[in-house]
Amino acid sequence: MAANGEKQQGHRPGIYKQKNKGHKHGKHRTKGEIERENKGRVSVTALTKKQRKEQKKMDRRHKANQLRRNKKDMVLTEKRRLGSRDGPPHLVAVVSLHAGVDASAVTRLLRGEGAGGAVHQERCVSGVSDSFGLIMPRFKQRFTFLSHNTADMHSLLDVAKIADSLVFVLDSAEGWDSYGDYCLSCLFAQGLPSHALVCQGVSDLPVKKRVESRRALSKITEVRFPDARLFPLDSEQDATLLLRHLGTQRQRKLGFRSRRSHLLAQHVTFTPNGPAEGMGGGPTGLGTLCVSGYVRGRPLRVDRLVHISGHGDFQLSQIDAPTDPLPLNLTTPRPAKPGKGGDVDMLDGGEDEAPVRVLMKADPSCRESLQTEAEVDPMDGEQTWPTETELLEAEEARKNKRVMKVPKGTSDYQATWIVDEDEEENGEVDEESSDDDDDDMMDEALDGEDGEINSQDPGSCCGSEEEEEEEEEEEVCSTERPGADQRYDEHMDEAAEEEGLKRYREARANEMFPDEVDTPLDTLARIRFQRYRGLKSFRSSPWDPMENLPLNYSRIFQFQSFERTRHRILAEAAAEEEGAMVGWYVTLHIIDVPFSVMESVQSGKPLVLVSLLPHEQKMSVMHVLVRRHPGNTEPIKSKEELVFHCGFRRFRASPIFSQHTSADKHKMERFLRPDAPSVVSVYAPITFSPAGVLLFKQRNDGIQDLVATGSLLSCDPQRIVLKRIVLSGHPFKINRRSAVVRYMFFNRDDIMWFKPVELRTKWGRRGHIKEALGTHGHMKCVFDNQLRSQDTVLMNLYKRVYPRWTYDPYVPLPLPWVKREGTVEMDDQDME
C-alpha cells in the first residue's frame, strides 16, 4: 500500500503472456502404464510417425545383419566345398616366370609321398602331359595340378581364366624375366585368381645369405604382389605347407567366370557324323565331341549354348554322369546325382566300366539358337508401285528428248550408251557419296600428305648437309663392318619399316595439328566434305541417333535397356538351380563340332568350355573402356585390325576409338591416346559385364604385342561417335571487328555453302562468314574481337562414323617366345 494511502494498481498481462495448458486430472495414462497393459503388443494404426520410423530403422538394421550373416555363411560354404567331396577338385596351375626355373621340379615335389598326398590320376587334363590328380586324406581335400608351357599365351590365358589358384615359380635371384613380366601384365589385366609365390634354391645358399636373398626377392616381388607371401620349396615339408596354404587361402572371385558355368576338359573323344546327318564325317568334317570334366561356377543347363575358347559356339545334345575319377573316398566312387527335371537313363559302359547315366537331354524346341545375326530383307521398305508424281516425271522425261553430238553413223542404241561429261561427274559424285569407306580413305590420304609435309618441313633448311653427313656415315660403316651390317639387315622387313615410319609421321602430325586437313584444290569442298556438317555446340546441339544408319546395323541386335536386361539375366543366373550342379563330374555331348577342335587337343592345348548366358551369341556394337599399355609405344591407328581377348572369347576386329565422356556425343580419336582412357567400339558378340579385355596387335612376323587393357563398358548401337575435321584459313587483312580470310576455300560456291557454320580461332575468337570477296576463296569474316596477325581461323565439321564389320572368330597362334629370344640373341651377337 502506498504511503499516501492510495490503492496500488495491479499488473495487467500483455498479449505475449505465456498461457499454459491446464492439467487433466485422472483422465490419461502414462507411457509406462500403456506399455505394461499392452505387454509388448503393438498396433500399427496406433503408432505415431516417429515410432513407425524407429521401427523401420530397427527392421532395416536386422535385415542388414541377416544379409551379412547369410553372405558370410555362403562364402564359407563355397570355400569349404572347393576341393571337398561335394565340390570340384581345387584346380592349381603352375606357371614359371623365369626361363631359368623349371615348373616340373615343383610338381615333382608336390606329388611326392612325403608331402602327404596320393596321386590317383596321371594326365588328368586332356591335352596337358604334366597334369595329375592329388588326394590329401589329411586335409580331406583333392587337387588337380597342371603345368603348361608359358610360350603359348593363348593357352596360358585360358588356363588362368578357370584356375582356382596359380602358383608362380620365381628365380631366387631375379624373380622374373622380361617375358615373365609380360605374362603378369596380361594376367593382371584379365583378372588374377588366388595365387602363391614359390622360389627354389634358397636352401642351397649359405645360412648367412638366406635371409639377405629372401629380403632382396621380397623387395622385387612387392611391386606386383605387395601383400603376397613367399614360399620356399626345396623339401617335401615345404610342399606340405604349400598344399595347406592353397587349400585354406581366401579365394578371389572373378565376376566373368563366377556368373557362368565353365569346365576344363579332362577327357575328350570325337565321333564323326555319319552319312545320315549329311554333314560329312571324317577327319575334315563335323562330329560330336564328348567332353568330360567337373562343373564349376554355376549349374550347367543342357539347353544353353557352350563356347569353346578359340573355336566358337555350339549346342549340347545331352549330359551324362560317369563315375568320378578322383573320389575323395577311394573305396567308394561317387557317381553324380540326377538333375532336377532331367531324364535319367542307364547306359551300358562295357564289362569293365561302370554304367553311365544320362542326366538330361536337350529339347530342340527349348534349346538356344545359334543365330548370330538378324535376318536382313533387302527389299524391306522398297516401293513396289510408282506414285502419281513419279509417273508424271517419267512422262515428262520421255517427252523431253536429249540432244547430243554423236559420231557420224551412230545408231540410236549406241547413242544411249554415250555419257556426257556433266553426267560423268555426277556419277562420280554419287559413287563417292554411296561409299563411306572411300570417304575415309580420302581422309586418311589427306592426313598422310599433311603428316609427310609437316615432318619434312623442319629438315628442309639443312637437307644438303644432313645428306652429306649420312653419306659419310654410310661410307665409314661399310668400310669398318660390312659383314655385321649385312647380317643385321637380313632380319629387317623394309616394308614394315616404311609402314612404321608413315604411322609415326601421321601420329606426330595429328598431335601437332589435331584433326586439321587441307581443302583439296582439284575438288569442290562442298562435294569433298558433303557428309560433314557444322555444330553450334558439340555438347548441346542435337544429333538424331537413328539418322542414316549403315546397312550393317540391320544385321545386329539391340536392347531397349541393356542395363535392365543385364541385371535381369544375371539375377536369373544367380538363382539357377536346374541342370548339372557345381562339383559334378559330367560328360557333355556337343554336336556339329569341327575336327579341328580335336586336333587342337591332340597337339597339347587345354580345352576350356563355358556356358553362355542368353543373347551372348548375338552380334551387336560393343564398347570397351581401355587404357594404353605402358610397355607399348607404337602408334595404334583407328580402324586397324586388333586381337581382342574379351572374357572367354577371343577374336579379330577393326575398332574405332573415341573419347570417354558423359555427353550424348563423343569425339572420335584417330590414334589410341597414351595419356587418357579411350572407348573402343567394335562389332562383336554380346557379352554381359563384368569382363576383362586385352587388346593385342599382330605384327607381320606373327608376334602379338599387348597394346591396351581394360574392361567392358556397355552394348549400345546408338552411341554417337563423331569424326571431326578442321579447315584452317589465314587472316589476310585485319580490321577492328572483321578480317579477310584466305586459303580456307578456293571458290565462291564453297564459301556460300559453308557460310552458316561458325568459325573459331586458335586464340579463342569466335565469328562467322559475312560475305565472299571475289572468286578465288577470299571471304570477309566478323569476329567478337580483333584478331592477331599470328592467329589462325578454323572451321569444325563433323560426321558420324561406325566400326568396320571385320569380325573374325579365328585368331592365329602367336609366335612362341623361344623364337623371339633366338632372334634377340642373334641380333645381340651381330651388334658385338
What are the tens digits of pLDDT across the range 388-435?
787 788 778 777 656 666 666 666 655 655 555 544 444 444 444 445
pLDDT at position 102, please? 84
pLDDT at position 477, please? 42
pLDDT band at 463 (very low <50, low <70, confident <90, very high): very low
Q: Which of 24 and 324 is assigned the larger pLDDT?
A: 324
pLDDT at position 115, please? 67
pLDDT at position 642, please? 93
Helix (H) or strand (E) holding 156: helix 153-162
Q: Above 70 in pLDDT, residue 819?
A: no
pLDDT at position 814, please? 82
User: How far apart (Å, rounded) are the C-alpha atoms in residues 407 and 403?
Assistant: 13
pLDDT at position 7, please? 63
pLDDT at position 821, please? 41
Average pLDDT over residues 303-326: 91
Is 296 in contact with 793 (CB distance < 8 Å)?
Answer: no
pLDDT at position 611, please? 93
Average pLDDT over residues 243-264: 88
Q: Which of 334 and 406 is assigned the larger pLDDT?
A: 406
For the beta carbon of residue 654, count every other beta carbon within 10 angstroms: 17
pLDDT at position 631, please? 84
pLDDT at position 622, please? 95
Q: What phi, psi does 501 have (nearest 5°)? A: -65, -40
**470-484 pLDDT tens trace:** 444 444 344 445 556
Q: Above 80 in pLDDT, residue 462?
A: no
Residues constituting the chain: 832
Q: Which of 332 and 490 is assigned the larger pLDDT?
A: 490
The percent of residues in the chain predicted with pLDDT above 90, rounded, is 31
pLDDT at position 565, please? 93
CA-CA-CA-CA torsion sign (294, 300, 303, 308): negative
Average pLDDT over residues 354-381: 81
Closest CA to 691 of 710, 715, 716: 710
Q: Above 80 in pLDDT, residue 208?
A: no
Q: Above 50 in pLDDT, residue 832?
A: no
Average pLDDT over residues 1-12: 63
User: How far apart (Å, rounded) are the C-alpha atoms in residues 599 and 61?
Assistant: 58
Q: What is the DSSP string of 10-79?
A: PP---TT---PPPP-TTS---HHHHHHHHTT---TTT--HHHHHHHHHHHHHHHHHHHHHHHHHHHHHHH
Lowest mean pLDDT among 311-320, 367-376, 648-657: 367-376
pLDDT at position 410, please? 66
Q: Above 60 in pLDDT, residue 117?
A: yes
Residue 332, by phi and psi: left (phi above 0), alpha (psi -120 to 50) or beta?
Answer: beta
Residue 783 cell numbers, joined: 569476329
* pTM (two decimals): 0.74
**707-753 pLDDT tens trace:** 999 999 999 999 999 999 999 999 989 998 999 999 899 999 999 99
Residue with cell 538351380: 577
Lowest mean pLDDT among 125-134, 303-312, 567-576, 644-653: 125-134
User: How far apart (Å, rounded) are the C-alpha atoms in residues 533 and 794?
Assistant: 14
pLDDT at position 830, please? 37
Which residues make beta-bridge pairs with 609? 263, 308
pLDDT at position 681, please? 95
pLDDT band at 26 (very low <50, low <70, confident <90, very high): low
pLDDT band at 139 (very low <50, low <70, confident <90, very high): confident
pLDDT at position 403, please? 64
Residues 6+ apart with CB under 8 A from 7: 1
Q: Above 90 in pLDDT, residue 769?
A: yes
User: How far apart (Å, rounded) are the C-alpha atoms in residues 166 and 194?
Assistant: 6
The conformation of residue 774, written as its DSSP 8-state character, comes to T
Looking at every residue in the chain, the average pLDDT score rounds to 80
Average pLDDT over residues 309-323: 91
Q: Which of 353 and 264 is assigned the larger pLDDT?
A: 264
pLDDT band at 459 (very low <50, low <70, confident <90, very high): very low
pLDDT band at 615 (very low <50, low <70, confident <90, very high): very high
Q: Above 60 in pLDDT, residue 260?
A: yes
**654-706 pLDDT tens trace:** 999 999 998 899 999 998 988 889 999 999 999 998 999 999 998 887 788 89
Residue 535 cell numbers, joined: 555444330
Lowest mean pLDDT among 257-271, 436-450, 637-651, 816-830: 816-830
**504-536 pLDDT tens trace:** 777 777 677 788 888 888 889 989 998 999 998
Is 279 in contact with 286 (CB distance < 8 Å)?
Answer: yes
Q: Which of 507 and 309 is assigned the larger pLDDT?
A: 309
Q: Which of 803 and 631 is assigned the larger pLDDT?
A: 803
Average pLDDT over residues 771-792: 90
pLDDT at position 686, please? 94
pLDDT band at 441 (very low <50, low <70, confident <90, very high): low
pLDDT at position 756, please? 92
Q: Above 50 in pLDDT, residue 356?
A: yes
The percent of residues in the chain predicted with pLDDT above 70, rounded, is 77
Average pLDDT over residues 598-622: 91
Lowest mean pLDDT among 34-48, 122-136, 402-416: 402-416
Q: Above 80 in pLDDT, residue 775?
A: yes
Q: Which of 748 and 469 is assigned the larger pLDDT?
A: 748
Q: Report residue 336 CA to chain centroid gap.
A: 36
Q: Judge residue 158's burial from the number of C-beta atoms within 10 Å of its C-beta, 0-12 exposed, 13-18 middle, 19 or more buried.
A: buried
pLDDT band at 604 (very low <50, low <70, confident <90, very high): confident
pLDDT band at 487 (very low <50, low <70, confident <90, very high): low
